[in-house]
Structure 1
């Protein structure tokens, strides 16, 4: 480990539950933190509680009208006054983004957690900060999309830029980080890089190589889409050829990453064939680049691997814990007992922070 590492987590984050049946469940965050605890990594992390984001912080990237709409939709009485056309235009006519009483409060806590991570970096309390509840990268300035109400990653980037930073954002989620890219596409001081399954096959249908920013921000966005069933080797080859070179050329003072784990071959909503080999490598490269440039790193992560049962329950938590372990230099033995939440289906299973072997090529 080469500097203090902050981990932002608290039980309040369980309020970020879109619905009981929704694929994005807050239990995924608890699984990851329980694994970090069971491996002893928590002893090397500075645990920080989350807080709700303020309205002013939400409006760093979202319109005031949109924030007010979300607040109204979160109130059972006020939501009756919202016209159906406004609900549709704001993205809440889709089952992906259901309306609930905790919509504003729950997502504000996720944004606040990522801002706590950013504040820890800015204030010098940490060299690296990890916010496992974050990474809501599909939310746009005035509409929700893809399970995302407020864009915590973009808000953290905007806040850091406000503090004088030159910000680089790297997104390795299987879905294109369209919300973050769109918000900063004309900003030459924020670089966005996204590695994802091609939009020809997967939501949100964007993020092609020719999409590189607009106006003054031309050249400040980079996209590396993969065809379905791409496995570890081509994914890692693309990452190693593209990401370090772009970051070195851009020379950021802070690095924000979205380390979503849904490129894994067990993810039920996408079609890539990666294994947990990729996340330790990604974490290691980000860590090395941060210290090479002497800048800091923040990790808001939205794991979309649905933590249902068996292997999927284990992989979701493990994939989240791996980048955190990489930043810490894995100071604890790699094999540890499975946390209680992961033993619901197979009591005899043990998990390890050691990555899986290569997934067979298709």
Structure 2
């Protein structure tokens, strides 16, 4: 299935940069874009530049005082004590010059994606520079200053009045977006992530279900450390199909973190490129089934920026644009350009060799734990479990 799709990109998305040793590096977006271009899978006509979000748009979710604090921090004029209150100047989210300007372009990229889809100019749009899902209403957290996903969903609700399904496949719980809509029955959030017993932010339990009118519209599927492809995809596919059937969304916003891979240095999951071929295909299918194709895909985590993030994110675009992931060798031009700058040997193919996954002696036990989490998730909804069907 070939669909009308657009790809948000300009160098404005690359200026969100804490410092050279920080694990969050937007060079991932450039590597992804060039991988697609050199493979002949992305043309100039597919690319839409991001706009800069206005303060009013950012304040659809974030407090005025917080936005003003970020602006002052951008000019090195925010006192340290005040900065800490807003989650700024920490090891995770340090202050850098012009951080408001850079962050506003990430938000604007996601809002550009929303307008491209909801104006009818495209069925699917990716903004792989976005997906900063840990940002809170008045506090930065986990590398995230402004939460572009939460802002975009508020924008969709206020401007277009559509019911939104938010799907988060980052290894870390999508806490900022979940809490933003925890009492809203028109926004359904689903996050599959490594259990918070071992990983930041420590939340995302199955029993986090929403409050007030939003009770029953928050779904979490924590998977055990060292989860591999087969178990991840089994529970993810079942859960997402059931949740989509329950909620019947008007539009899907997905956050496509690439940090569940076994190479990622910040998580403990053991997946391969197989899941990054399958995740967007399922999201694509459900977008057409329930939303007339309306799908916005964001980036997110992914801290092996050389071997994993470019391939994983490129597959999101490949599925959006062509309906299928790419396979076979990577373009030699891309490998040649970046191999001297990469501290690790670059991959040569879209797929992974299965031998990269270490031997996990607890594989059966891990799968059983994940199945229990899935059953608990389904029990907490009005849905039937697979056994009842």
Normalising by the residue count of structure 2, what TM-score does the alignment of the two structures yield? 0.86
The 1:134–1:180 alpha-carbon spacing in structure 2 relative to 1, beyond 3 Å, is: same
**What SS does structure 1 have at the residue aligned with 2:84?**
helix
1:42-62 Cα shifts (integer Å, max 9, x gaps): 039721001111001100110
8 Å contact kept, 1:303–1:320: no
CA distance in 2, matches of 1:164, 1:240: 28
8 Å contact kept, 2:277–2:325: no
Find the partner of 1:316 among 309, 332, 350.
309
The 1:356–1:51 alpha-carbon spacing in structure 2 relative to 1, beyond 3 Å, is: farther
Measure how far apart 1:351 and its partner are.
2.7
The 1:140–1:323 alpha-carbon spacing in structure 2 relative to 1, beyond 3 Å, is: same
1:155-179 Cα shifts (integer Å, max 9, x gaps): 1111111211100000000000000
Measure how far apart 1:108 and its partner are.
0.7
Instruction: Please state if 1:138 is matched with 2:131.
Output: no
Find the partner of 2:163 among 145, 160, 166.
166
Measure how far apart 1:279 and its partner are.
1.1
The 1:263–1:275 alpha-carbon spacing in structure 2 relative to 1, beyond 3 Å, is: same
Q: Show the counterpart of 2:124.
A: 128
1:100-159 Cα shifts (integer Å, max 9, x gaps): 112101111111111111110011111000111010000000000000000001111111
Instruction: Please state if 1:241 is matched with 2:238.
Output: yes
**What SS does structure 1 have at the residue aligned with 2:307?**
helix
The 1:361–1:165 alpha-carbon spacing in structure 2 relative to 1, beyond 3 Å, is: farther
CA distance in 2, matches of 1:265, 1:97: 25
Instruction: Please state if 1:264 is matched with 2:257.
Output: no
8 Å contact kept, 2:92–2:141: yes
Measure how far apart 1:13 and its partner are.
1.3
The 1:68–1:314 alpha-carbon spacing in structure 2 relative to 1, beyond 3 Å, is: same
- For structure 1, the residue ranges without an aligned partner over 5 or more in a row are 308-312
Judge which range, 242-251 or 339-348, deviates more. Answer: 339-348
1:267-300 Cα shifts (integer Å, max 9, x gaps): 1111000101001111111111111112410001
CA distance in 2, matches of 1:111, 1:341: 30
Q: Show the counterpart of 2:62.
A: 62
Find the partner of 1:85 among 47, 60, 81.
81
Instruction: Please state if 1:110 is matched with 2:106.
Output: yes
Instruction: Please state if 1:335 is matched with 2:322.
Output: no
Find the partner of 1:200 among 197, 201, 210.
197
8 Å contact kept, 1:188–1:217: yes
8 Å contact kept, 2:164–2:251: yes
Measure how far apart 1:329 and its partner are.
2.4
Judge which range, 45-54 or 212-221, deviates more. Answer: 45-54
Pairs aligned (count)? 353
Q: Show the counterpart of 1:310.
A: none
8 Å contact kept, 1:24–1:306: no
The 1:165–1:117 alpha-carbon spacing in structure 2 relative to 1, beyond 3 Å, is: same
CA distance in 1, matches of 2:344, 2:100: 37
8 Å contact kept, 1:173–1:260: yes
CA distance in 2, matches of 1:325, 1:205: 33
Q: Show the counterpart of 2:25.
A: 25
8 Å contact kept, 1:229–1:271: yes
Q: Show the counterpart of 1:302.
A: 300
Instruction: Please state if 1:220 is matched with 2:196.
Output: no
Q: Show the counterpart of 1:278.
A: 275
CA distance in 1, matches of 2:125, 2:265: 29
The 1:48–1:233 alpha-carbon spacing in structure 2 relative to 1, beyond 3 Å, is: same
- For structure 2, the residue ranges without an aligned partner over 5 or more in a row are 361-389
**What SS does structure 2 have at the residue aligned with 1:314?**
coil
The 1:347–1:156 alpha-carbon spacing in structure 2 relative to 1, beyond 3 Å, is: closer
Judge which range, 253-262 or 88-97, deviates more. Answer: 88-97
Normalising by the residue count of structure 1, what TM-score does the alignment of the two structures yield? 0.93
8 Å contact kept, 1:280–1:355: no
